[in-house]
Amino acid sequence: MSFELTAEQRAIREAVRDFGESEIRPVAKEYNEQGRYPEELRQQAADLDLVAPHIPEAYGGAGMDGVSTVIVTEELWRADPGVGGAIAAADFGTGMILEYGDEWMKEEVLPRVTGGETPIATCISEPAHGSNVAGMETRARKDTAEQSSASPATASQEGDEYVIDGEKMWITNGTVADVYIVMAKTSPEDGHAGITAFLTESDRDGIEAARITNKLGIHAQDTAEIRFDGLRIPAENVVGEVDRGFYQLMEFFAPARADVAGQATGVAQAALDAAVAYASEREQFDQPIAEFQAIRHKLAEMATDIEAARSLAYRAGSAIDSGDTDEATRLASMAKLFASEHAVDVTDEAIQVHGGAGYVDDHPVERYYRDARVTKIYDGTSEIQKNIISEQLL
């Protein structure tokens, strides 16, 4: 299938690439070495409509389509997976609010994200439950005003609150976001059919977040462990319907997985760019190593893998816009599986092209290799993607 970008999509690519090369790449190494979240750069990106670009203009976004959104993520990760990735991940949870949130939630939260005031965090995974979302142990129990010892000022307009207890793990933006979506069991005995999504400010009593700093890669991105101990949330802060949170969440895995495919394509392209540049400059046996067929073949295979990954990612973005849920699910899983697996291969080969110089941090390829590895894990492991794809075949 031929896939041609529109003039607008090509312009978006150039705009993001310019921002990445002028603002992100010069400081990427410093941010990643320091493990520093790029707050100022995220705000600059928001001024260019690069934060949550899929959000409609009515809520401060650019209203970009699925392919354009993937392109933005791809180019941010091409600039740097840590810094650019932190910018791209600032919107993780906005889709749930846009689709299922009450109007007051949309008006209050979405402009704050698109405007660069704060990222958002979605609290799903737990220490003992990653791929098995239905196994989560975080609980939310209903507490009426008569039962609660809380003052009337803290209760919802209906006089009811939910009290949440539990622990979440690997939460993107967990220590930097002002707002969370928290997934918790409201009907524990019902498995998938007993999970509810809640919106909360992150500074409420009963929330303790600690940044995870011993990660293999994406050091500039914020990842956290979060504990909820008696967190009280007004009943009006339920996002969507009670006990429908899992099914609501599933609708956003296709866009999330297409986004990860864009991430993986971006970091792979960055690695190829670095490998081509190094091979053209590095000389052995009185000639640039790019003149050796062994190196040329490596570069050719890397480029082919990237182009195939990019095609799948864009097709997934297009399918999401089409409204064909089954097709979007299939292509998004294929795109994430292929792009993430090959991103690790491509970044590995980029180190090989650099030889010993690629094994140290004098060159960015060792960082790209470490950063690419996570794309095979989050938003559904490669093994989960194979399950989803095979289920549609059988």
Please write down the HEC assignment for all residues of 239-277.
Answer: ECCCCCHHHHHHCCHHHHHHHHHHHHHHHHHHHHHHHHH
Q: Residue 154 pLDDT more than 70?
A: no
pLDDT-derived band of residue 131, with 50, 70 and 90 as boundaries? confident
* CATH class of the 252-393 domain in this structure: mainly alpha
d(CA 207, CA 202): 7
The CATH superfamily assigned to 120-244 is Butyryl-CoA Dehydrogenase, subunit A, domain 2 (2.40.110.10)
pLDDT, tens digit, for every residue of 34-79?
999 999 999 999 999 999 999 999 999 999 999 999 999 999 999 9
pLDDT at 191: 87
**CATH code for the part of the protein at 7-91:** 1.10.540.10
User: Which of 289, 282, 388, 276 lies closest to 332, judged by CA?
Assistant: 388
Q: Residue 156 pLDDT more than 70?
A: no
CB 54 within 8 A of CB 64: yes
pLDDT, tens digit, for every residue of 245-267?
999 998 889 999 999 999 999 99
pTM for the whole structure = 0.93
- Would the CATH topology of 120-244 be identical to that of 252-393? no
Phi, psi at residue 9, to the nearest 5°?
-65, -35
Q: Domain-by-domain residue ranges, the chain?
A: 7-91, 120-244, 252-393
